[in-house]
Each structure stands twice: as structure tokens, then as C-alpha cells.
Amino acid sequence: MNLPVQTVGLTKRYGGLTAVQDLDLTVRTGEVYGFLGPNGAGKTTTLRMLLGLVRPTAGTVRLLGRPVGAGQLAEVGALIEGPAFYPYLSGRENLRVLARYAGAPAERVPLVLDLVDLAGRAGDRYAGYSLGMKQRLGVAAALLKDPRLLILDEPTNGLDPSGTADMRRLIRRLGAAGCTVLLLSSHLLGEVEQVCDRVGVVSQGRLVAEGSVADLRGTVGLRVLAEPLDGAAERARELVGADRVRVVDGALELAVEPDRAAWLNTELVRAGVAVRELRPRERDLEQVFFELIGKETADVR
């Protein structure tokens, strides 16, 4: 199978520093994969190895099913750092110039402008674009060659909330259109929740978790709103064991499998407790991210 990205045991050492260690990364066709980790975790080094810009110390990289350097970069579109455009040309003119350089058909220009939602402003000068529009034009440029793999490195960096939301919508749209996207981000897990099919979290050069956002978040029990609370807590302790029951903010938190909800509800009601709400308790995504990267505080932006 020609996986867009597959690394096995990928390692890069700079002198005594291991920037990337034993990384097994797989990006599947048609998915939006979020490669996440705090600054210095090794994302850029990994990206450079994927693109053949840096030679791995150990391990292998296959890009679009072939070893790096087999000419497949023509099929990869990338938005890395701020894209360079001519300020006095319009968005459309800039793309026409790039298309000519890249040997992409001119008919792609209106198509990609439409994709990134810039068709209405395509005639405006680049210099007048907002940062968000500039970034989206960068994505449009990366799409000119109709790449099989699109790599976006920190595409929301420096964007305000509305620019970030636009970029998120764009990535989701690309994903829905069947584009394979590798998204690098040092932002919190929560921010990529809506756009990524799967995420890999890297910390200190190692992949510390991989899966869907739902997988990573997991469920850790049940949260129950019931009256009277004391009676509910007492009965719950009898049912599942005292060490599995906590009272937090006027609710019961039970460390039990969520599929025991129906049984628990029946038992509580039988004990004369009125159950108002009973639902799986999920971990907070930020918390998950910090646990994975082994930090207590939010300094990963």
C-alpha cells in the first residue's frame, strides 16, 4: 500500500542531542493527520527528514510509497513558514506566476482560489490582505500542483481567532474533499480536535501517543447528578466501592466503565435516589495534552 507518509525507527541526533527518536509515523491516504507537540519536540526536524532536507541518523522514511528523493516532491504541496508573494500583485496574479514556475495548468488558479475561499478577493493586491488571507493564499499555492499530500506547518500561527477559524474550516474542507493533510502544530490538542482524523503527539523527540482525538481523550468514568446527593453517594459506594466514588461540585464522579450506566441508574433509583443526569466523563483535552508531554502548565503555544 502506498502510504503518503511512513517512517520506521526514524532518529536524528545532533551531537549529544537527540531531536527525534525512534519515530514510527504513518499517515494514511485521505486523512488529516495532526502532528502535535510543544516547541522543540522534534516536529520540524521530522518534517525536514520527510522532505529529504536532513539526513536521518537512523531509520527510514517513505513518502508516497517511495524512499525520499525518488522525485515524489512534485506530488507534495507544503506551506512552511510564511509563503513569499509579490506584494504589489493580486492574489490571482501571484498564483498565476507560481503556476507558471511550477508547471501547473493555469486553470488550477481559479479552482484553488475558490477552495481557499479567496475567489471574491482574488483581484486585490496581496499587500492589502489580512494575515489569515495571506496564509490561505499560501495554502492555495501549495494546492496548485494538485498534490497527493499537503503539509501545513503551523498554519494558524499568528492568526486571530477568526483567521484561525477560517483556516480550520479550510482544512476540514480539504479533508472532506479527500485530500491527505499532514498538519504540524504546537498548539493545544483542543484546537485541532475538529479538523484531524488522527493525531500523533510528540514530546522530546518521541511519539508519546497516536490515535483519534476520541481515543486520546478516552473516557474515565461516569458523572452523575442525583438527589439527595448524600444518599446517592452512600449507595454508589456500596455498589462500586468507596474508593471509586468522589463528590465533585455537587455531582458524583464514579471511576467505573461507562457501560455500567444503565445498571447504576436502576440501582440508584431502586434506593430512592432521583437521578437527573448520568453521562460518561471525558478527560479535558488540554489536560490530556499536558499529561502526554509531561508538563503542568500551558506554555506550548
Ligand X SMILES: Nc1ncnc2c1ncn2[C@@H]1O[C@H](COP(=O)(O)OP(=O)(O)OP(=O)(O)O)[C@@H](O)[C@H]1O
Point out which residues bind ligand X (CB under 6 A): 14, 17, 19, 37, 39-45, 186
Cβ nearer to ligand X, comparing 47 with 174: 47
Cβ nearer to ligand X, comparing 31 with 154: 154
Q: What is the closest distance, in whole angstroms, from the C-beta atom of residue 298 to ligand X in the complex? A: 15
Q: What is the closest distance, in whole angstroms, from the C-beta atom of residue 162 to ligand X in the complex? A: 24
Q: What is the closest distance, in whole angstroms, from the C-beta atom of residue 215 to ligand X in the complex? A: 22
Q: Which string of DSSP letters, residue by residue, matches 9-69? A: EEEEEETTEEEEEEEEEEE-TT-EEEEE--TTSSHHHHHHHHTTSS--SEEEEEETTEETT
Backbone angles phi, psi at 300, to 5 degrees: -100, 0
Cβ nearer to ligand X, comparing 21 with 94: 21
Q: What is the closest distance, in whole angstroms, from the C-beta atom of residue 44 to ligand X in the complex? A: 3
**Residue 109 is inside which H or E element, if any?**
helix 108-115
Q: What is the closest distance, in whole angstroms, from the C-beta atom of residue 18 to ligand X in the complex? A: 8
Cβ nearer to ligand X, comparing 42 with 132: 42
Q: Which ranges in 158-202 belong to alpha helices (H)?
A: 161-176, 189-192
How far is the CA of 220 from the CAs of 17, 118, 210, 224, 226, in angstroms? 37, 43, 18, 13, 19
Cβ nearer to ligand X, comparing 90 with 164: 164
